C-alpha cells in the first residue's frame, strides 16, 4: 500500500471531520483506560470477574475511530491532545503537516525526524 501524500488543501479539507472524530477517539480511549483500571482493581481485590459493559463499547469506538484515520492515511501522534500528522512533501522532501485539535487550520510542518518539538510555521 502506497502512503498517501497530502497537499495543504487536502489536509485542511479533513479538519471538519477530524473535529468530530478525534474527541470521540480521545473519550473512548480515556473511558477504556478507566474501565480497565476498575477491572484490574476488582480482580486484585477478589480474583473474580467484573462486569464492565462499557469496556467493549469503548473498545469498538476506539477501533472504529483509529480505522477512520488509517483509511485516510492520517497519522495519530497523541490521542489526548488530538495531535495528528499528514504525510506531505515540501521542497522535494518528505515532511509532515502537523495539526492539533483546537487549531483553526493546518499551519505547521515538521521534518521526518524532528516531531512536534521541531514544528515550524508553513
Residue 97: the pLDDT is: 97
Residue 48 has pLDDT above 80, yes or no: no
Beta bridge partner(s), residue 94: 89
Element counts in the chain: helices (H) and strands (E): 2, 5
Cell 471538519 found at:
16
The grid coordinates of residue 94 equal 518528505
* Residue 13 is assigned to a structural domain of this protein: yes
Query: In 34-66, which positions are buried (b, 16+ CB within 10 angstroms) versus exposed (e)?
Result: ebeeeeeeeeeeeeeeeeeeebeebbebbeebb
**Residue 38 within any structural domain of the chain:** yes
pTM over 0.85: yes
**pLDDT tens digits, one per residue of 56-71:** 888 999 999 999 999 9
Position 2 in a domain: no
pLDDT in tens, 74-107: 999 999 999 999 999 999 999 999 999 999 999 9
pLDDT greater at residue 35 or residue 6: 6
Query: Do the domain assignments include residue 3?
Result: no
Question: Does residue 99 belong to any structural domain of this protein?
Answer: yes
The answer to whether 28 touches 58, Cβ cutoff 8 Å, is: yes
For the chain, percent of residues with pLDDT exceeding 70: 94
What is the domain extent for residue 96? 8-121
Asked if residue 1 is part of any domain, the answer here is: no
The pLDDT of residue 49 is above 70: no
The pLDDT value recorded for residue 50 is 60
Does the structure show a pLDDT above 90 at 35? no
Number of structural domains in the chain: 1
Residue 31 has pLDDT above 70, yes or no: yes
Quick check: is 68 in a domain? yes
The sign of the torsion formed by the CA atoms of 64, 74, 27, 43 equals: positive
Amino acid at each position: 500500500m502506497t502512503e498517501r501524500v497530502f497537499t495543504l488543501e487536502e489536509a485542511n479539507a479533513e479538519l471538519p471531520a477530524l473535529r468530530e472524530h478525534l474527541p470521540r477517539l480521545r473519550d473512548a480511549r480515556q473511558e477504556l483506560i478507566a474501565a480497565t483500571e476498575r477491572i484490574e482493581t476488582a480482580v486484585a481485590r477478589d480474583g473474580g470477574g467484573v462486569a464492565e459493559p462499557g469496556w467493549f463499547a469503548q473498545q469498538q469506538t476506539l477501533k472504529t475511530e483509529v480505522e477512520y484515520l488509517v483509511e485516510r492515511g492520517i497519522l495519530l501522534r497523541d490521542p489526548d491532545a488530538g495531535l495528528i500528522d499528514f504525510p506531505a512533501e515540501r521542497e522535494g522532501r518528505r515532511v509532515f503537516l502537523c495539526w492539533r485539535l483546537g487549531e483553526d487550520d493546518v499551519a505547521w510542518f515538521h521534518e521526518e525526524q524532528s516531531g512536534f518539538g521541531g514544528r515550524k510555521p508553513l
